[in-house]
Chains A and B, each alone.
Chain A
Amino acid sequence: MSTSSHNLDTIRTLKRRRKMAENINLIIFLLPAMLFVLVFIAFPVVYSGFLSLTKFKFGIDKAPVFIGLKGYIERFTSDSLFITALKNQAVFAVLYFSITFAVSLVVAIMINELTFGVQAFQVIFYLPMIIPMSLVGIIFAWLLSPINGFINIIVRSFGHPRFMFDWYQEPQTALVGLVVARSWKMVGFTLIIFIAGLKGIPKSFREAARVDGASFWQEVKFIIIPNLKPYMLISSIWILINSLKVFDLVKVVTEGGPGVRTYTLYYYSWKLAFERRDLGQASQVAYITAAIIILLAIGLNQLFKPETAERG
């Protein structure tokens, strides 16, 4: 009697000990990742949230002065540069979305019909993805440069030199030039999504349509586009969110110019923080940018959910 209860106790202690050892292991397994996330992600989010509620010039003010939401209100009411950045950003997003979405969708649909050369074409369209954005900036600034840029050389050889101009110095074209460069790099990403979606459409759907005498355009309209909707949603969200994170190009190609024509939200926040050293204002812009991005992601997801769910 006593021995068996003693045995039971040992088993219990053993089990408990093993449980504890397992728990310690678990902590060890999680620790490195959690530490990094805590120190370099969670803390910065909280800290910049705090900074955004203060007045703080780095190296000038001793400590941040708490001002509540006043800074945020100021950004929207009395910061014309912020409004400019917001407008530029909106124009950039619309242009960038249209170009990237349309080009990658059309190219994907065409590539999907090809019987050979598919691999080679894919490599060509994916290639820009491996070139850093800043270097893409250098390449485009050079191609569009009025001195020895290829585009302007072509323009010159066709017409009068007065048609030559510096894309990135003209107020009307600077932002468009940036959009083109960025779309050029990013089309590969969305192309991957669309091609994956197109491959997922069962062949039988299209064969059935063909037997019924559908033209290619009818197939696109009634089979390809409806089946591609979930993928179009994913790529739309991705392109839109991506369109708000513009820094490298602006910094390398235009530095926000001409004037303030290419100030974006990222660039403005960076400029405030690292040139004007105004960490309070910079954090406000960063937080507003983040809010726009997160709301956009959630909103788009909600907006399209019923439709995608309906399709199963």
Chain B
Amino acid sequence: MKKSSNLAYGNLTRIFFILVLVFALIYIFPVFWMFITSIRPDNDIHKFPPTIMPHALTLKNYIYVFTGMEGFLRYFLNSVVVTISTVLIVLVASAMSGYAFGMRKFRGNQLLFMLVLSVLTIPYIMYLIPIYIMEYRMGLTDTYLGLILPYVALNLPWGLLIMRGAFSTIPLDIRDAAVVDGCGEFRMVFQILLPIVRPAFVTTTIITFVFAWQEFMFASTINKKNEWQTLPVGIVWIRDELQTMAMGKVGAAIILSIIPVLILFFIFRKFFIEGLSEGMLKG
């Protein structure tokens, strides 16, 4: 009885494997096809009927992205500047407030924290119009700050949530011992406590990085000039100019634009998955 049921499960596992494999191949096909198209010569792209595997390989499209494609390098630079600045500010601000909420007792701690968290349910479209008007009046449209400031604000509640969780697991004894030793509070937080909450740092970094690298609505609304635009909008502009016939070139640009996140993904895969699911589960 037991043996036969085991056998049945073995078969089932095999069937599942095949099903998942087929589905995974279909699933990944859009990315695969884009990649294949980006390394094919032009005459191969338009060949009919199309072949899955290219007849010849070329890096021409990638070279074009770096040398001939107007805007790409600038968009890339802008994305790097905006994303890294956002991540750094979010880390510092959320570590500081996370410590305050997680380890300091003060009146209104719970209430204030709940208030900040309630922000997480508000859809971003609510902020867009006032932030645009505000930045327009302050002359922040078409600047780096114009994107960095709202990106920081939108990610801070998440960072705070994660950091507070991490800080509240630290025994208060560690803090008291440091205070008794005459260690100033700021030094204590940054030198003694921060290394303990390193995983929370990585999680916050990933969540914020992925957000800032992918953000479209604010970027397309606040920035109208090529000089300040980031990749998610910039590549759409490039496509609008080149049209779909140039998918080899656009595909190369897309592949290049996701490489930084891809690297992050493979280095921190465990954190990546934990972080993303943590961010969602608590929302």
Contact = CB atoms under 8 A, between A and B. Distances in A.
Interface of A: 22, 25-26, 28-30, 32-34, 36-37, 39-41, 43-45, 47-48, 51, 58, 107, 110-111, 113-115, 117, 121-135, 137-143, 145, 147-150, 153, 157, 184, 187, 189, 192-193, 196, 210-211, 213, 215-216, 234, 238, 241, 244-245, 247-248, 251-252, 265-266, 269-270, 273-274, 279, 282-283, 286-287, 289-290, 293-294, 297
A216 B33 CA distance: 36
A26 B20 contact: no
Interface string B85-112: 0000100111011011000101000000
Given A107-B23, A114-B17, A294-B122, A148 B235 contact: no
A269 B258 CA distance: 29
B236 A270 contact: no
B20 A114 contact: yes
B169 interface: no
A143 to B, nearest CB: 6
A282 B156 CA distance: 26
A47 B185 CA distance: 37
A286 B126 contact: yes
Contacts of B276: 129, 189, 192
Contacts of B24: 121, 124-125
Nearest to B220: A251
B49 A157 contact: yes
Interface in B120-156: 121-134, 149-150, 152-154, 156
16 contacts: A32-B92, A33-B97, A36-B149, A44-B134, A47-B130, A129-B276, A130-B262, A132-B214, A132-B232, A135-B257, A148-B244, A149-B244, A153-B50, A216-B12, A234-B280, A266-B217
Contacts of B104: 22, 26, 29
B55 interface: no
Contact of A252 (B8, B20, B128, B236): B236
A135 B16 contact: no
Contacts of A117: 17, 20-21
B198 to A, nearest CB: 19
A44 B216 contact: no
Contacts of A142: 34, 244, 247, 250
Contacts of B152: 36, 40
A153 B122 contact: no
B69 to A, nearest CB: 14
B232 A48 contact: no
Contacts of B220: 251
B27 interface: yes
Contacts of A294: 121-122
B126 A290 contact: yes
B210 A130 contact: yes
A125 B31 CA distance: 11
A95 B49 CA distance: 33
Contacts of B210: 129-130
Contacts of B2: 210-211
Contact of B127 (A45, A115, A193): A45
A254 to B, nearest CB: 13
- The 4 lowest CB-CB distance pairs between A and B, nearest first, are A40-B153, A44-B130, A33-B97, A132-B214
B245 interface: yes
B49 A238 contact: no
A128 B122 CA distance: 25
Contacts of B171: none
Given A36-B156, A138-B254, A247 B217 contact: yes
B233 interface: yes
Given A127-B28, A130-B261, A22 B126 contact: no
A240 B239 CA distance: 31
B97 A29 contact: yes
A86 to B, nearest CB: 14
B232 to A, nearest CB: 4
For B33, B130, B133, the residue with the greatest tally of chain A CB atoms inside 10 Å of its CB is B130
